[in-house]
Chains A and B, each alone.
Chain A
Amino acid sequence: MQKSLHIDPNKCTGCLQCEMACAWENYRSFTVAKSRIKVFTFHQEGRFVPYTCTQCDEAWCLIACPVDAIRLDPVTGAKIVLEATCVGCKVCTIACPFGTINYVAQTGKVQKCDLCGGEPACATACPTDAITFVDSDWTGLGKMRQWAGKTDTNPATV
């Protein structure tokens, strides 16, 4: 079964444990500037929204790459950057409609979420379940359940 990251902004508190976990996974550092998942604060609305790559099936970044440095991981479904092949041309960063693949000056390569090989550190680190890793066919299950709970199943008794 393929799994997807599922993000519920309503549960996010903006603690950035996910960003630290991501940075640690890839850099052995807590420096959130290196994280591939970002939590955006919409202060005036009182909202915190984590955002990262959705692993498009027809991935613009993958298609745009002139040196085939972005490949599909057939097990996780993640589109992963092969650092040895990447030449840092940044075409993928222009192709991605969501901005979730970015250049890293420190390495001269691009980076994006690779689902940590199937065990995303951000989801593990999230203390409020705002980020979970669920069956990719059923990312809507939680919302369905919510609406199901509001359905009047026994109108005759009203």
Chain B
Amino acid sequence: MAWTKNVLRVNLEAGTCATEPLNMDWAREYLGQRGLGTKYLCSEMDPKVDPFSPKNKLIFVTGPLTGTMAATGGRYSVVTKGPLTGAIACSNSGGYFGAELKFAGWDMVIFEGASPKPVYLLITDEKAELVDASHLWGRTVWETEEIIKKQHQDPQIRVAAIGRAGENRVLYAGIVNDLHRAAGRSGVGAVMGSKNLKALAVRGTRTDAYQMADPDAFFAATEAGKKVLAANGVTGQGLPTYGTQVLMNVINELGALPTRNHRDVQFEGAMAIGGEAMHEKRPTDGKANLVTNGACFGCTIACGRISRMDPGHFSVKDKPQYHGASGGVEYEAAWALGAANGVSDLEALTYANFLCNEDGFDPISFGATVGAAMELYDLGILTKEEVGFELPFGSTEAMVKLAELTARGEGFGKVMGLGSRRLCAKYGRPDLSMTVKGQEFPAYDGRGLQGMGLAYATSNRGACHLRGYMVSPEVLGIPVKMEPQATEGKPAMLKAFQDLTAVVDSSGLCLFTTFAWGLSDIQPQIQAACEGDWSEDRLLLVGERIWNLEREFNLGAGLTAKDDNLPPRLMKEPAKTGPQKGAVSKLDIMLPEYYQLRGWSAEGVPTAETRTRLGV
């Protein structure tokens, strides 16, 4: 059985840790990770609770393939009600932490209530305890990990922690594990901060915690899967060499790279901040930004960027703590910190990205909020007096300064920590917020790629590229090529992607495998690890069930069809340049068909028949 069948329930108010058996009926219906965490959250909690109230729960959950030799089998998710959106929040991370939790013998940790004082959870195999964290409060993620390892004299402990951003309730604060891998989006770190929970520190050494249902079949299936990843151009070459940054120039040339708060769809500085630029030797010190690629646990793709800054760069000149190598910019971060606000200084982006990792906040939402602030400044709505310095589009110094202030929760950084929607509303221009359900767009323009527009509008956690990656068909031709501007067939393709993605996100595997893997590659791996029937049809039903359960949570939280929307800019202001010139989002054409395909009413509510069919 690939589940440990153990759930750790931590009551932060009472300071207690209790073990309970995993609900296997739910595991059979929701698989694990995203699906199972969502099922627990929805079953135990009123979706109307304030995200920062002690009544909100915070769930760390692994999948059945987490901590196995399946390629990329090391993922975990954090599920909670998100403060940025008021919707379901589910953030997925790699690194080594998830597997360690499994090795210690836990599928899931559920945090309830709020601690009266700062604490961290220490797990050593079966033993779990809350430890005083008053000496860690106010510390960065990086300091926290170092102190915990020293304190327990165990360098093999794996740590997932919040930085000052989570403590300060930056609405897009994330949870960072292994120094630079993050459950980054939707503000799960702010919820953790609201609970006075600084970190989870885990050491897992058990050999009996879980087994593969059919080991021979498991190795046959995972070996076959690894061969497919190695032979594929994207997962075998593109991602290891350039990381996700392989996309920067591709998306820019396609005219779908949102620039300066989506005013433009192409960025003149794209070449300077893309994957190729990271390989180029700097004129200043003769070294490249990229040191090497790195893998998460069990990953045979290894798309991670490990970068080292130019020690002479103005942002780190007198700060030797940033002169070593660390997690470099991925495509989304490079876009958000760069193109979204017009900055094309790769070193500055790397520095801001280091700060995001160090103090735990989402570079996508942060960078996009900088873009919104710069537009407000450009329009004369936001002034130098309020910000404390000038804030024109393209100002490297301003972007860097805002990253520092947001990390520390100082000055205008406090306003930045509210995110784009609240920032723009505060200054009377809600229309300038490039968000859906309050969450900032990632790096693809919803006008340039019609399917991505629909994906953003319907994503259960707000604007997100990882819930239905229509870039695959619309740009890369996976599994079939679809024209970016076409609407025909997009709702059906998106539904299929959303359901499949929910399965992958619930398995313990990384979504990036799906550049090469289809369900027929994934299914045998899940089947061999887990007892019972995990046929392709059943898995897709599981995916659809998860999607609908998330939807039910959001409806229960008070969201409606009105929230399945895009900002007016994407609906009315045509793309100015490039191959998609003149395009606006045709969401209104696609959305009704999408609802119909989902088995939802015209108001976006699952029909009685759909609910019965899925058992939601």
Contacts and interface: CB of A to CB of B under 8 A. Distances in A.
A33 B295 contact: no
A24 B325 contact: no
Interface stretch (B297-305, B396-404, B483-491, B605-613): B297-305
Interface string B229-264: 010000000001000000000000000000000000
Q: Interface size for chain A: under 10, 10 to 19, 20 to 34, or 35 or more residues? A: 20 to 34
Interface stretch (A8-16, A69-77, A85-93): A8-16
Contacts of B230: 127
A14 to B, nearest CB: 5
A109 interface: no
B69 interface: yes
Interface residues of B, number: 39
A46 B69 contact: no
B296 interface: yes
- Tell me which of A14, A27, A33 has the highest count of chain B C-beta atoms within 10 A of its own C-beta: A14
Contacts of A47: 292
A21 B68 CA distance: 10
A21 B69 contact: yes
Given A34-B207, A127-B300, A44 B69 contact: no
B204 interface: yes
A15 B292 contact: no
A60 interface: no
A150 interface: no
A30 B68 contact: yes
Contacts of B68: 20, 30
Interface in B289-337: 291-300, 302, 304, 306-308, 324-326
Contacts of A2: none
Contacts of B293: 13
Contacts of B67: 30-31
B536 to A, nearest CB: 25
Interface in B192-242: 203-209, 211, 215, 226, 230, 240
25 contacts: A13-B292, A13-B293, A15-B295, A15-B298, A15-B299, A15-B300, A16-B298, A17-B69, A20-B68, A23-B207, A29-B207, A30-B68, A30-B103, A31-B207, A32-B103, A33-B103, A33-B204, A43-B325, A44-B324, A45-B324, A45-B325, A46-B306, A46-B307, A46-B308, A127-B71
Interface of A: 13-17, 20-21, 23-24, 27-34, 43-48, 106, 125, 127-128
Interface of B: 67-69, 71, 96, 99, 103, 156, 179, 203-209, 211, 215, 226, 230, 240, 291-300, 302, 304, 306-308, 324-326
